Amino acid sequence: MKGLKKQHLPEKLCAACGRPFTWRKKWERVWDEVKFCSDRCRMMKGKPRAG
């Protein structure tokens, strides 16, 4: 992903909240395995959303 501008980074939809999130450097080696946008969504993956 080196040399790409922010608007050209790959995006995914969070499996928990459905919001789009973009590639991060810390996910470089595991991008194919990343399913959630945050730790909060990862922890809430099996629980129904309130609201």
DSSP per-residue string spanning 13-28: E-TTT--EEE--GGGT
3-state secondary structure of 41: helix
User: Quick check: pTM over 0.85?
Assistant: no
Residue 41 and residue 9: Cα distance in Å, rounded? 21
Q: Evaluate if residue 35 carries a pLDDT over 60.
A: yes
What confidence tier does 5 reach under pLDDT thresholds 50, 70, 90? confident
Q: Evaluate if residue 10 carries a pLDDT over 70.
A: yes
Q: Evaluate if residue 13 carries a pLDDT over 60.
A: yes
How many other CB atoms are there within 10 angstroms of residue 35's CB atom? 13
- pLDDT of 12 reads 96
What confidence tier does 2 reach under pLDDT thresholds 50, 70, 90? low
